[in-house]
Structures are given as structure tokens and as C-alpha cells.
Structure 1
Amino acid sequence: MDIDIVTLSRLQFAATAMYHFLFVPLTLGLSFLMAIMESVYVMTGREIWRRMTLFWGTCFGINFAMGVATGVVMEFQFGMNWSYYSHYVGDIFGAPLAIEGLMAFFLEATFIGLFFFGWDRLSKVGHLIVTWLVAFGANFSALWILIANGWMQHPVGSVFNPDTMRMEVTDFMAVVFNPVAQAKFVHTVSAGYVTGAMFVMAVSSWYLLRGRHQEFAKRSMAVAASFGLAAALSVVVLGDESGYVATENQKMKIAGMESMWHTEPAPAAINVIAFPNMEKQENTFAISIPYVLGLIGTRSLTTELPGIVNLVDTAHDKIRDGIEAYKALQKIRANPNDTAARAEFDGKWQNLGYGLLVKQFRPDVENATEEDITKAANSTIPNVPVLFWSFRVMVGLGFYFIAFFAAAFWVASRHKLGEQRWTLWLALFSLPLPWLAIECGWLLAEYGRQPWAIEGVLPTFYAASGLTLWDLALSLAIFLILYSILAVIEVILMVKTIKKGPLEYNPFQSAGAEALPTAATAAPKL
């Protein structure tokens, strides 16, 4: 297969996935924030908390609609651009996606309608339950998506069937409780909570700077500051857990994002700053702190973390085993009753994916030379500079969020929100930072897994569909234009909603219901 086709397929999926994830974190964060605000309204009966719930709920609704529009396209791409991937692992990967649609997305979408149009039809407690179900539905949706993604990072509970030429589930509970998936879930949703809290902080700061909606903005900031601080602390702690799990299952990713070319005596030093040289397989310049990486990555003083060069040597052996598994598979396909070939395949099938890496360099895997094996082994090295700096941007911003929300929480606890304008400007200009951190995190997770679509099982170049270059170029151009239009629509709707500000009435109230006292007379046009 022409590698340019694979590259375009990867670029298209990366563009749609990372664009879609601009909306998901804000949906996760705002869902719980509006549930908290409505809980305070039900407990206190104060109308301002109802207005807060309505306003942030409107922002949530706009963002949710855009997230759905961009997310549906991603699932279609599995069949269009990655058809062999769908054939190879569809029995496993498809199950979490189906459950996400049936169990989580429908729950969330159904109760969103009740949230917006049920204010005058449900009791206070009934509507509050609906709001919490919206929040839980959003998080359940993320859970099943991340279970599917976690299996791509660490394929457990499955086996390759030589008769069907597919991966099949052997233990669905192992897939669900995959440690990589669980770590990714809690880390990802916590990042979404930080995003939602920062959005509320920034918009509220803008109101205070403009001298508008003072009480609304101060209360919103107080909730966001406490919620954001808890979320920011969770992101760092749970991110550390996610990294620890990766040291067990994705050693090359860890070595790449730390730019560690050679195995060091335990505990390994951490490179704070480094300039990796991919050709020479070394760092041109590095500033290191002794012992820190070993202590964080292994939580011990004696466990070594393997370097990139050493992992390439390990890949050589796995590729040789994978070639033997490939040869046995060809014998089974020629004669399904060949018990000797089945016995050999059963002993080495776990490395079949490594054998398939050779196909990128020659189609007849069984005749691979040492030069071919070396090329395949070297292909397991990810783009180290991209991983190294993406990780440091993400981590640096994570610690910034802790400091930011801790300061905001301290100011809020002293009832001095809005008294120092520089803090409001800081909150306003910090608005894009959670998205930057999240995109770096996803780049690290997905780009760091290369050259694998499924870690150690299915190479990315082998998973793509047999489309033409023009098919991909045209569809990529259409997606970029469409998504750019959606981005403009999102910004226009958000800006209009924010400029209009919190309403003193329910914009989704039924026509026959009695209106609340208000200074406004028209509902916002969304």
C-alpha cells in the first residue's frame, strides 16, 4: 500500500479527532458545574442560582450540539478509511462503541431535552435529577469511548483466530476493566472538568471587567474555583497513575516522551530539557535531574526503565518470532487441519503484529532478511521530539492550573473576587490553555503509539483502506472546510450568548406557561 495514502488517512483522522475533542472537555466540565449550581438552587430556592444553571446550560447545549456533529463523522471513518482495522478488531472495538451509543449517548441526549424544556413541567427535584443524569450520561459516554481507546493502547481479553483472521474477545470484563482504560478515563474526564471550570472563570472575569452581572459572575467564579482546584489536583495525580500504567504496557512511549535513548541504572534520571537527535539516536543537549524518572515511573529504587535503543533490540527478537507466527499462519490457511502449524502459531501469535511490520518493507514476510528486520525494528521508534515537548507542555500547564485555581479559591474564600483586575485578566487570557494541554495529551497518547493502530497487534499502515489518493485528499478538504464552518458557528453562538448574559427568565419555557418577572422580553436566538 502506498504510504502516502496511509499518511493522508492518519492526517484526516487526526484532524477530525482532535477537532472533535475541542468540544468534549467543555461538555464534561459544564455538565457537572450546572448540576452543582442547580443543586444549590433547589436547596436554597434563590433565583440567581437558577439563572446560573440556565445560562451555563445554554453554553453547554451549544457545545454539545457541535460535539455530536463532529463525533459522528469519526465513527464513519472506521469503515471508510480504516476498513481492514474494522475487519481485524471490529468484534472487540465495536462493542464499547455500541454500548456508548445505546447506554450513554442516548441517555445524555434524551435528558438534555428534558433539561431545556422541562423547567415548567417537572418539579424542582425532578428537574435536578434530570440535570444530574445529563452529567452522568456525558461521563458514561466518555467511559466507553476510552475503554475502546484503552484497548488500542493495551489489547487485553482477546486472541487472534487463525480461522477467521480476526481478533476476538475472550474476556469482555478484562476489556472493560483494562487498567490503561480506567487510568485514561479518570485522567481525561478530570481534564474536562478543568476546562469547564476555566471557561466559567474566564467568562465571569469578562463580566466583572465590564462591570456587568456582578453577583452572577462572583458566584459562578466561586463554584468554578473550588471545582477547578479539585479537578486540577486530580489531573496531576491521575496523570501520574496513567504514566505508571504505561511503563508496564507501553515502554517505547515512555522512553520516547522522556527522550531516554539508553537504559540507565535504576532509578533513572529525568530530562527536564532535551534536544533529541533522531538520526544519531541521542540527545544533542539535555538537563537532567537524577533519580526522579525512576522514582516516578517505577515507584521503586531498583526497577530499570528501558531506553529506546534497548527496546529496538527487543523488537528484533519479537519480529523474528512474528515472522515464524506468520509462516505458521500461512500453513494453517493452506491446511486448516495442520496441527503442528497450529501448535507453533499458538506459541507465537502474540508477536504476529511485529512480523506484520515487515510488510511495510517487503510483501513476502517469510523471506525477510536481517536488513528488513532491522528496518522494521527501527520503525517502532516514535517521533521523540514531538512526544518529549508535548508531554512537557501538558505537565507544565497542569501545574499552572493547580496554582491558578488555588489562588482563585483563596481569593473567593476571602470574598474578594473582582477586587484585583490583574487576576481577572489572568483568568481571561488563561481560557485557551486547558485546550492546549488536552490536545498535547491526545497527541502524546495517539502519536506516541505509532507505528501501531493496536499496540503490538496491528501496524497502522496495515489497517488502512485501499482508497485512492484523490479520495482521501477530497474528503480531507471537505472535512476541513465543514469543520471550519462549524467552528465559526460555534464561536458566533457562544459570543452572542455571552454578550447577552444571564437571563432572568427561562428561554425554553413553554408558550402557555406563566413567565417569570424579567427585564427582557425576547428569548435569545440560537
Structure 2
Amino acid sequence: MELDIVALSRLQFAITALYHFLFVPLTLGLSVLLAIMETVYVMTGRVIWRQMTKFWGTLFGINFALGVATGIVMEFQFGMNWSYYSQYVGDIFGAPLAIEGLMAFFLEATFVGLFFFGWDKLSKVGHLTATWLVAIGSNFSALWILIANGWMQNPVGSAFNPQTMRMEVTDFFAVLFNPVAQAKFVHTVSAGYVTASIFVLGVSAWYVLKGRHTALAKRSMTVAASFGLAASLSVVVLGDESGYLSTEHQKMKLASIEAMWKTEPAPAAFTAFGFPDQEARETHYAVHIPWVMGLIGTRSLTTEIPGIEDLVKHAKVRIKQGLLAYDALQQIRAAGSTGEIAPDTRTTFENNGVDLGYALLLKRYVDDPRLATDAQIEKAAWDTVPHVPTLFWSFRIMVGLGMFFIVLTATFFVLSVRRQLDTYPWLLRIAVLAIPLPWIAAEMGWIVAEFGRQPWIIEGVLPTAAAVSNLGAMSLLITIAGFVTIYTVLFVIEMGLMLRAIRKGPEPDNEPEALLISPHIVPAE
């Protein structure tokens, strides 16, 4: 059986990306929680808050180190496994990544050292500043990476240059303020805050159940429940914004998430449950909630959401228009920089160039897209539909877990206000068992965002199949096996270090409590 180089390249990147994303959310959330805890310490002088910051900081450091190591590997993959992609869009995609390294990563990496080793060398305010700069650097890092990723979802501020055969920046501020990128950023960091909050809540609940470090654990639970509730609510609001933007920029992804095969009268219903059948192009045993999808997706009662079949028909039209652009492009390239080009040729390319990527979908079936048959055009049009069952269930698992996090954090927030955090042991056990759930939700969200964009590596511009390097199947298989082996070992080591630190608990802190009374008043004997 012939091995699919594109599928193997995608598998390798998916493995490394999913593994890397195990560390990103916790790093984002813990960095902010550490800054909040240390702020309370500086304001109150209570040593227990410094002890909390140091303890959770140890877990942050273990996670941070693994996140950096796995992130560097991913950046090398762009040049090694996706060389044509790097050549095609490097002018645009590379800029945010370079800024991320210069502005955010160096900031984060510099001050993380001061966080760990500067407790006795910096003033309280100085160390607090370093801690907040670690948090700001972590979030800035996510911002620039998601600006790059958001451009892949909605390629604005750029144009294709037929002379260089590259995408080039035409408006950097359009790339920077891309609405899809901004929505992805706030949604992703909010999900990271939820992940860290559930993690802190669960570990603290375990301490309360064991009767260990209860003073530290209860204060940590109060911070985590408050911060987690706000973050969980924001994830829902920002997720709604992402869904609305998908209606504008990624209609096929939205229709696939809903398994909406045919266009429904507005406002469309939301499919709460069902079994999508991609071959039969229908959803079995579907349970619909009237109007909900129309309100979420369009925020109106009159705007239709196109179904998959209508979007495929539209894709077929765009493929044919893309063929006109492809033919004009070949004539422009054949003429070279000094050759004569008919005016109507350049006009044809300018009028249809936006659909050039759709013509490249035919490369999967024929070397020269202009020779494609009607049957091949039909297949290419249906290739624009991602695997519907995967998106359908990934989205619902993510949303269901998001609702659970709201209920869980709200419950513990109320208990913390009433000072009843240790009243219900069964709730504490639920919090402990919930620790891995935010990672499942985050991975499901990654699948919805990235798998839902297929077959595009850049939405509507460059198909994934056209972006890979010319590698051998055996090279990919060996590297996949190597990554799986090394990452499994690293994961076991990381989990061992985290569990060891949790079982050991916080280190005793011998710093004297700050006096919160006037120094001129002598306490009673």
C-alpha cells in the first residue's frame, strides 16, 4: 500500500502540536494566578501567600520547561516538513513568530529566572514586578502565535505576487488586528485560565481531603474558584464570538460542526445530539433545538446559514474560476519578467486570483489542474468538507465540559464565600477527578479549530496537500516513532516530577509575618 506523505506529515505535526498544547494552557493560567497570589502577599504581608506563590510556582516551572522544549520542535517543523508552506507564506507567517521570540519569549524567559532565584535578592515590589512580567510575557507569546494562526484561518492584509509565487504583506495592521486572531487569542487564554484554575482547585481539594496544608489549600481554592468562574464565563462568551466569526469567514467549518447538510430556513436549529453519516450525507437520530444555531451563528432571525451541500456547489464554482486564474498565472510565468503579457491575461488573473487556491485542490488528482475532468472537479469540491463526525463530537465534548466548569467553579465560589470548602467531601472528590478535564476540552478545541480548517493549511489560499516537503515515507515514519517515544518519556518524567512536588507539598517559609499594626503600639504580653 502506498503511504500518503501528506497524511503522515499531518500526523507528525498533530502529535507534536497536541503534546505541546498540554503545557500551554497551564502555563498561561498559572502565570496569572501566581501574580495574583504574590500581589496579595505584598499587600497583606501574610507569609502564607508567599508560600502559596512558591509552591504553585514550582509546578509552573516544571510545566514551563516542557512547554518551551516542545514548542521549539514545532517551529523547526515548518521548515523541514512544510517547506513549500514556509516559502509560500514565510513573509507573513514568519513575522509574528519572529516578534513573539524577540518581544514575548525573551521577556518571559528573562523574568522567569528572577521569579525563581530573586526571592531574597529583590525587594517585594521588585519581585512582584518580575512575576507580573512573566505572566505578561506568557500571554504576549500566545498573542503573537495566535495572530499567525488567525491569519491562517482568515488571510487578510496580504496578496499573492505572481512574479515571486509568494504571499506578501500588504497591510500589517490588518494582520495584527485580524478579528479572527483577536477572538482566538482571548478565547485561548481564557481556556488556559480555566485549566489552571481547575488544576489548582483539584490539587487543593486533595490536600483538604488528606487534611494536609489546609490553610494554604483553602486560600488556593478561593482564588482558583473566583478566577476560574470568571474565566469559564468568558470562555463561553468568547466562544460565541468565534462561532459568529466562523459564519463570516469559515462557513464550511460551521456547517460541519453542526452536521448541517442542507441549508435550513432561518433561524437554523442547533443539533444537540445525533450521529452524522458522511457517506449518506445525513445525521441519524438528530435532536434539534429550534432557533439556537441561527441566533448564535448570525445573531439574527432572518439570516440563513448555508448547508454543506450548498457550500460544495459554491466551491465547485470557485474551482472553475480558480482555473482561469491558474491558466493566466502560467502565461505570466512563461512570459517572465521581460516578456509581453496580453492585458486581458493580467486582468483575468486579477479578477480570479482570489480563487487560485481552489484550483490547487485539483493537484491531488492531476498535475495540471487545467486538464481536470468534471468528475475530478466534483471530487475536489467535496474535499472542502472536513470529517463531519469528528468535528461534530469534538465541539460537543468541548461545550459540555465548558458548562461543567462553570457549575464546578460557581459551586466552590459559593462555598468559599460561606467558608464551607471542607463541608462536602464528595464535592472535593469531584474537583480532584476533574483535574484532567480542561486538557480534554482544550485538545477538543484544537481539533475543532485546526482539523475543521481542512483541506486548507491557509483558508481558501493554499491546500494542505500542496504545502508539504518532498520527504520519504520512511523518514516520516521514523521521526513519528521517535517523537512518540521521546515525548512519552518526557511526559512520564514530567508527571513524575509534578506528582512528587504535589505529594511533598509546600516548603515551610520562615519569613516573619509583617506587622499590620502601628509600630508605636506595643502588643500585650
Give the TM-score taking structure 2 as reference length.
Answer: 0.96
* Aligned match of 2:406: 402
Deviation at 1:517, TM superposition (A): 7.8
* Aligned match of 2:60: 60
Q: Following superposition of structure 1 onto structure 2, how do residues 38-53 of structure 1 map, counting pairs within 5 Å?
A: 38-53=38-53
Which amino acid in structure 2 is aligned with residue 44 of structure 1? T
Deviation at 1:285, TM superposition (A): 2.2
CA distance in 1, matches of 2:349, 2:127: 58
CA distance in 2, matches of 1:280, 1:226: 47
CA distance in 2, matches of 1:57, 1:175: 35
Percent identical residues: 66
CA contact (8 A) 2:51 2:508 kept: yes
Q: Following superposition of structure 1 onto structure 2, how do residues 92-241 of structure 1 map, counting pairs within 5 Å?
A: 92-241=92-241
CA contact (8 A) 1:202 1:428 kept: yes
CA contact (8 A) 2:197 2:228 kept: yes
* Aligned match of 1:294: 294
Which amino acid in structure 2 is aligned with residue 461 of structure 1? A
CA distance in 2, matches of 1:401, 1:99: 34
Any stretches of 5+ residues in structure 2 without a counterpart? 514-525
CA distance in 2, matches of 1:240, 1:395: 11
* Aligned match of 1:511: none
Give the secondary-structure state (helix, strand or coil) at the position aligned to 1:160. Answer: strand
Match of 2:392 among 370, 388, 395: 388
* Aligned match of 1:355: 359
**Aligned alpha-carbon RMSD (Å):** 1.1
Match of 1:484 among 485, 488, 491: 488
The yes-or-no answer on 1:438 pairing with 2:442 is: yes
1:129-178 deviations in Å (ceiling 9; x for gaps): 11000000000000000000000000000000000000000001000100
CA distance in 2, matches of 1:132, 1:466: 44
CA distance in 1, matches of 2:150, 2:489: 31
Give the secondary-structure state (helix, strand or coil) at the position aligned to 2:453. Answer: coil
Which amino acid in structure 2 is aligned with residue 205 of structure 1? A
1:452-490 deviations in Å (ceiling 9; x for gaps): 000000000100000000010001111111100110111
Match of 1:455 among 453, 459, 466: 459
Residues matched between the structures, number: 508
Deviation at 1:420, TM superposition (A): 1.2
CA distance in 2, matches of 1:432, 1:161: 46
CA contact (8 A) 1:452 1:458 kept: yes
Give the secondary-structure state (helix, strand or coil) at the position aligned to 2:185. Answer: helix
* Aligned match of 1:421: 425
Which amino acid in structure 2 is aligned with residue 276 of structure 1? P
Deviation at 1:284, TM superposition (A): 2.3
The yes-or-no answer on 1:70 pairing with 2:70 is: yes
The runs of 4+ residues in structure 1 deviating greater than 2 Å are 515-518
CA distance in 1, matches of 2:297, 2:454: 21
CA contact (8 A) 1:504 1:517 kept: no
CA contact (8 A) 1:3 1:461 kept: no
CA contact (8 A) 2:205 2:431 kept: yes
CA distance in 2, matches of 1:110, 1:29: 19
Give the secondary-structure state (helix, strand or coil) at the position aligned to 1:417. Answer: coil
Q: Following superposition of structure 1 onto structure 2, how do residues 226-305 of structure 1 map, counting pairs within 5 Å?
A: 226-305=226-305
CA distance in 2, matches of 1:516, 1:153: 51
CA contact (8 A) 2:321 2:352 kept: yes
1:54-101 deviations in Å (ceiling 9; x for gaps): 001111011000000111000000011100000001110000100111
Give the secondary-structure state (helix, strand or coil) at the position aligned to 1:366. Answer: helix
Which amino acid in structure 1 is aligned with residue 485 of structure 2? I
CA contact (8 A) 1:504 1:516 kept: no
CA distance in 2, matches of 1:284, 1:400: 26
CA contact (8 A) 2:47 2:512 kept: no
CA distance in 2, matches of 1:41, 1:292: 46
Give the secondary-structure state (helix, strand or coil) at the position aligned to 1:285. Answer: strand
* Aligned match of 1:14: 14
CA distance in 2, matches of 1:281, 1:88: 35
Any stretches of 5+ residues in structure 1 without a counterpart? 506-514, 519-526
* Aligned match of 2:472: 468
Give the secondary-structure state (helix, strand or coil) at the position aligned to 2:283. Answer: strand
* Aligned match of 2:31: 31
Which amino acid in structure 2 is aligned with residue 387 of structure 1? L
Deviation at 1:204, TM superposition (A): 0.5
